[in-house]
């Protein structure tokens, strides 16, 4: 374990990132607004803090042995080399989750923080950087020297990565797509619903895996909520990501703009009506209007498609049972939220007949997960967990160890072999 060196590394690393990443790379690289860039680096600071404490608590249980004079323990050891393939939308935080936990577990990582490591008398090669595209990712997935491959990205690419890693019986940690829903019941506090939905749907210009893409509204409040959301959308400050007043920046690429336009057109063809947005903004950069679509069926093909863009489908429902089922009917299972004051409904939502997602929220949006809780999802989201809880176990290998400290040799299950 690297408890003491990691303590120094974590804080120096965070300082370096605060001065470098926020003020240059994040906004320039993917167009994230300044305040979200600051928040992303803060997330790295927080996970380093978390990892420093965790490094002194990792341990395995001591189990009672059925054989007298024997001790039975679990020993956790580093897997070795952790390959980290991160997505464009969180270039700092996702790497931070993986590297901080991986390093306090005793692993080397394929990324770069060489100077900070060397300043703390740890070889810089412990974290190495490789730049490239799909060719580099393929090489990492197929390389048997990669003991664990952590991949964050689309479900389509994640499936290819998983197959390549599994073919060599390697380990993979997958954090893939999300088609996340917010459910608003008739008793919800709309003062919470409107800003929560706005942040979840428009934050990072809809380019989060936890972005809200489906908004299920009880039929009794549907029109009121849509009207309030349209007014809120009209107040979103669009502009230069480096301007501290900007709330909404550009999409990452021209291909993303095309996907946005294609999705809007498909929504119209499938019976939807655009009540806000739906167009490209006439200004330099990949800017599109944040968009609200109403009138679609819950099972419309476009509603079941994750489009990495700021399009929100507002849908009507009548009963709790049906809307819980609609939340679960998409292939992804990352994040989900309900807004209600009904205590019984809250616990049904958290239980086995409620949400099937890895992140299940009540009266908060689908995005904005904390580092103390394991981050990830079920089904086509990949099943992996990063950051908090017991996710450290994915970065280690477990040995069940039996020690005979007696002079006898009793066998398990009382077997006699003479």
Q: What CA–CA distance (Å, rounded) separates 151 from 158?
A: 7
Contact yes or no for 36/74 (Cβ under 8 A): no
**Can you spell out the DSSP letters for 279-342?**
SB-SSSSS-B--EEEES--TT-TTTTS--SSSEEEEEEE--HHHHHHHHHSSSEESEEEEE---
Q: CA nearest 293: which of 337, 260, 259?
A: 260
Q: Sort strands 108-110 and 148-152 into parallel, antiparallel or unpaired.
A: unpaired
Question: Is 175 noted as a catalytic residue in this protein?
Answer: yes
Contact yes or no for 335/358 (Cβ under 8 A): yes
Paired tokens of 173: 């940690």
**In angstroms, what is the C-alpha Rg of the chain?**
24
DSSP class of residue 185 equals -
Q: What CA–CA distance (Å, rounded) separates 132 from 356?
A: 35
Length, in residues, of the chain: 418
Q: Sort strands 70-78 and 396-404 into parallel, antiparallel or unpaired.
A: antiparallel
Q: What CA–CA distance (Å, rounded) separates 61 from 73?
A: 6
Residue 156 neighbours by CB under 8 Å, 6+ apart: none
Catalytic residue among 175, 289, 320, 386: 175
Q: CA nearest 153: which of 290, 329, 306, 260?
A: 306
Contacts within 8 Å (CB) and 24+ apart, 120-126? 120/5, 120/8, 120/9, 120/12, 121/5, 122/2, 122/5, 122/9
Contact yes or no for 76/57 (Cβ under 8 A): no
User: Crossing angle, helix 343-350 and helix 320-328, to 10 degrees?
Assistant: 30
Task: Give the CA distances from residue 133 to residues 136, 138, 175, in Å, rounded to whole numbers and listed in that order.
Answer: 6, 9, 18
Q: What CA–CA distance (Å, rounded) separates 346 from 299?
A: 24
Which residues are catalytic, by number?
175
């Amino acid at each position: 374990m690297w408890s003491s060196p990691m303590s120094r590394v974590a804080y120096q690393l965070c300082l370096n990132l605060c001065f470098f990443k926020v003020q240059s790379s994040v906004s320039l690289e993917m167009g994230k607004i300044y305040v979200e860039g600051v928040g992303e680096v803060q997330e790295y600071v927080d996970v380093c803090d978390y990892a420093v404490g965790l490094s002194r608590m990792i341990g395995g249980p001591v189990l009672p042995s059925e054989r007298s004079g024997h001790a039975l323990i679990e020993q956790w050891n580093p897997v070795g080399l952790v390959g980290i393939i991160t997505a464009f939308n969180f270039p700092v935080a996702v790497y931070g989750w993986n590297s901080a936990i991986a390093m306090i577990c005793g692993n080397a990582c394929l990324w770069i923080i060489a100077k900070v490591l060397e300043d703390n008398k740890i070889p810089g090669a412990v974290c190495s950087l490789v730049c490239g595209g799909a060719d580099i990712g393929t090489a990492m997935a197929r390389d048997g020297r990669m003991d664990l491959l952590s991949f964050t990205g689309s479900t389509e690419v994640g499936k290819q990565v998983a197959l390549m890693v599994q073919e060599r019986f390697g380990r993979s940690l997958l954090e893939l797509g999300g088609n996340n829903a917010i459910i608003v019941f008739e008793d919800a506090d709309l003062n919470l619903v409107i800003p929560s939905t706005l942040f979840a749907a428009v934050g990072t210009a809809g380019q989060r895996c936890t972005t809200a893409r489906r908004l299920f509204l009880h039929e009794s409040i549907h029109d009121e909520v849509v009207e309030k959301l349209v007014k809120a959308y009209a107040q979103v400050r669009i502009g230069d990501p480096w301007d501290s007043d900007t709330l909404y920046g550009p999409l990452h690429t021209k291909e993303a703009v095309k996907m946005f336009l294609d999705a809007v057109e498909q929504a119209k063809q499938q019976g939807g009506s655009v009540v806000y947005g739906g167009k490209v903004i006439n200004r330099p950069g990949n800017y599109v209007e944040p968009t609200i679509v109403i009138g679609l069926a819950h099972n419309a093909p476009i509603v079941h498609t994750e489009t990495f863009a700021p399009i929100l489908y507002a849908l009507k429902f009548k009963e709790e049972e049906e809307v819980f089922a609609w939340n679960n009917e998409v292939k992804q299972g990352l994040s989900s939220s309900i807004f209600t004051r009904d205590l019984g409904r809250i616990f049904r939502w958290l239980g086995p007949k409620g949400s099937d997602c890895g992140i299940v929220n009540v009266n908060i949006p689908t995005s904005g997960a904390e580092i103390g809780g394991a981050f990830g999802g079920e089904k086509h989201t990949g099943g992996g967990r990063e950051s908090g809880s017991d996710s450290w176990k994915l970065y280690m290998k477990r040995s069940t160890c039996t020690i005979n400290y007696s002079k006898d040799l009793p066998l398990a299950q009382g077997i006699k072999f003479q």
